Structure 1
Amino acid sequence: MRKLNLTKPICFFDLETTGINVSKDRIVEIAILKVYPSGEKESRTWLVNPEMPIPPETTAIHGITDEDVEDKPTFKELAPQVVQMIEGSDVAGFNSNRFDIPLLAEELLRVGQDLDLKKCRPIDVQVIFHKMEPRNLSAAYKFYCDKDLVNAHSAEADTLATYEILKAQIAKYEELENSIDFLSEYSQHFENADFAGFIGYDDEGHEIFKFGKYKGKKVEDILEKDKGYFGWLQNADFPLYTKKVLTAIQLRKLSL
């Protein structure tokens, strides 16, 4: 199996959470596998007290109960270690562009940690898998590595499997360059200004709304035209990172 061609470390990570709402749900487990250009690996897994109940239907998926995390540190307590591990690295995961990265960004902002995940080149192994062999993590592990995924939905098992799958994908497909820049670009569905996909770009690189009554319209134009819309967005139930992007656009507009 080919070694990843890295110019800096890459962190494969997986989150188990209280649910799938990026704005409201919390992390209950996080695993990070950091791979260095030398091939050396470092792995950490933390159970996290989400400071909210874990719904039974969610426990049924990942097996983590309220009792499992009641005496564990909160994300605010763990965040400095998480930031220290990820900072200066690229990031990779399975369905990470649509879920894990947006939710991690929310948790970091919520506890005041200034880690700009936009500076981390993201690789979503699921996107590569779906483009090459449309299916899920267990099927991908069986297909690419010829192994059964034991303890699926355990963050540590999922993270290790994702790392092995990416290396197998590079070995299998000649058209996949062993380059983080290429893999990051290839594993994007769409480029967005925020992580949750509420703010996109038009063909000229201007931020546009991707939802609601102003869908397809330039953000700057709407913030100028509809003075109350910015305030409504900031008070509505949108992810913190989306609000941060909107604030940056508003400040940029005001400084012109």
Structure 2
Amino acid sequence: MVGDLFANERVLAFDLETTGIKTRTDKIVQYALIGSDACGTEISVEGLVNPGCLIPPRASEIHGIYNRDVMDAAPFVSHAQKMYDLMNGAIIVGHNVRRFDMPFLTTEFSRVGMLAPKPKAIIDTLEIVRKLKLPRPHNLGSLCNRHGVDLTNAHTAGADAAATLLLLWRVMKDNPQPFRQPILEIERWAIGQNISSDGSELGRGYDDLPPVDSAGRLRRDNENIILAFGRHRGKTIKQLVNSDLQYYNWLISSASGIDDEAIIELKAHVQ
């Protein structure tokens, strides 16, 4: 299941160690990208970065990187192109990566006058465990311990990145249902971007989406077709096929009352 989800994709676990937690003023001191490319070749890239400033003692106590360690390291600009080439268009996996690591990276790219890489999708394990309502605490160390993932050398970028990738695998194996959909749908699910009947989540409801059938029971959301009625309301047709094939078969039958033209489109949509 996991292999199929990431087939033919570059998948990289991403982690940073920094001088602090302020994305606008603090700097990167270490990064790691661990995973594989679209043909399955292993990728393991780690680097120390000279931040151009002193590393506060408190930060060094956490990640174990001291000023002497980065004294002769290259500045971020020397790492930027390599990171861009690897991350642009890739599926990026990380723990709190959307709110911490990616904003830090974007700021560093801005400082050197470059556009930041644009991943195909960001799969954040913190978002996922919260969405699944798994028991707290949700810090990486506690989650890895609970799921049997070794996290030796915690708070080094390489160890954290590798552990996050394994954690994702374990969580997906233990909770397969949400992951039986395309990767972009998983990302939307994790961050809560679901169409609601009253528009409370995205500021829009079903009535704002163009209808597929004459009664408006099916709605179009970009490339997706969404059910706007019944017990599967809010699901895409592809999600429905994976979760309740019997209901889908009823939907495309004459008994559902859906227009013939809409039924033809539904069948073509899932092929």
* Common fold: TM-score over 0.5: yes
Residue 2 of structure 1: how far off its partner (Å): 4.1
1:3/1:167 contact within 8 Å kept: no
**For residue 128 of structure 2, what is the aligned residue in structure 1?**
128
Structure of higher CA gyration radius: 2
Residue 41 of structure 1: how far off its partner (Å): 2.1
Residue 19 of structure 1: how far off its partner (Å): 0.3
Which structure is higher in RCO with an 8 Å CA cutoff and minimum separation 6? 1
Residue 181 of structure 1: how far off its partner (Å): 1.3
Take 1:69 and 1:35, find their aligned partners in 2: how far apart are those partners? 27
Q: For 1:65, give the aligned amino acid.
A: Y
Residue 160 of structure 1: how far off its partner (Å): 0.5
SS in 1 for 2:47: strand
SS in 2 for 1:85: helix
Q: Scaled by the length of structure 2, what TM-score is found?
A: 0.66
Which stretches in structure 1 are left out of the alignment for 5+ residues?
192-200, 206-256
2:149/2:167 contact within 8 Å kept: no
Residue 64 of structure 1: how far off its partner (Å): 0.3
Deviations 1:205-248 (A, max 9, x none): 9xxxxxxxxxxxxxxxxxxxxxxxxxxxxxxxxxxxxxxxxxxx
- Show the 5 A alignment for 1:236-247: none
Q: Scaled by the length of structure 1, what TM-score is found?
A: 0.69
**For residue 156 of structure 2, what is the aligned residue in structure 1?**
154
- Show the 5 A alignment for 1:166-245: 166-178=168-180, 179-188=182-191, 203=203
Q: For 1:130, give the aligned amino acid.
A: R
Q: Assess, with a 3 A threshold, how the Cα gap between structure 1 residues 24 and 34 changes in structure 2: closer, same or farther.
A: same
Q: For 2:146, give the aligned amino acid.
A: F
**For residue 50 of structure 1, what is the aligned residue in structure 2?**
51
Q: RMSD of the TM alignment (CA)?
A: 2.3
Q: Assess, with a 3 A threshold, how the Cα gap between structure 1 residues 29 and 202 changes in structure 2: closer, same or farther.
A: same
Take 1:38 and 1:163, find their aligned partners in 2: how far apart are those partners? 18
Q: Does residue 18 of the first structure (1) align with residue 19 of the second (2)? A: yes
Q: For 2:164, give the aligned amino acid.
A: T
1:32/1:159 contact within 8 Å kept: yes
**For residue 91 of structure 2, what is the aligned residue in structure 1?**
90
Between the aligned residues of both structures, percent identity stands at: 32
2:153/2:159 contact within 8 Å kept: yes
SS in 1 for 2:30: strand
1:138/1:148 contact within 8 Å kept: no
Take 2:150 and 2:162, find their aligned partners in 1: how far apart are those partners? 13
